[in-house]
Amino acid sequence: MSYKLENFKSDWIGGQLPFNEDTVQFAQEFGAHLCDLQNDRPGREALTTSQIRNFFGEVRRIQAKVQQGGFDNNKVAFLLIRPKLAYAEARVKSKQGKSRIEDFRKVMEKAHLAVKDQDSFQRFVDFLEATLAFHKSYGGRD
């Protein structure tokens, strides 16, 4: 299994390509990559489940607002998660040096930029959820 940033297709989120088995396969490879597996155990550069869940929790809060008031009325909150992710990356890197959080930010940023409406926002949430699930299934540490 090998993750490559160039294999991510923004159109999975933007809707020009269907959210299909290729999307799930990428999420699986990406989730495993974020674990930085070393002999079936998370390595030193691994993201913790908590680091991904912090981002996921913010996305879920926005999702609840979107369900209540629509995507357009909550777009600012969605736009602000990108700088929050950059901040989280800077914090992690200042504490531990190398981390796969940079790869996480790069993929999530590409996915974020593909969101144009409520449907693409939902695909963004689905992709993030799949990535988190695979990360945990590959032994993502807390």
pLDDT 10s digits, 25-41? 999 999 999 988 777 66
Complete DSSP assignment for 29-90: HHHHHHHTEETTEE-TTPPPHHHHHHHHHHHHHHHHHHHHH-SGGGHHHHHTHHHHHHHHHH
Contact 101, 54 (CB under 8 A): no
pLDDT tens by residue, the chain, 142 residues: 578 999 999 999 998 898 899 999 999 999 999 988 777 666 778 888 888 999 999 999 999 999 999 999 999 999 999 999 999 999 988 887 788 899 999 999 999 999 999 999 999 999 999 999 999 988 877 7
Amino acid (1-letter code) at residue 46:
A
Residue 1 has a pLDDT of 59
pTM of the model: 0.91
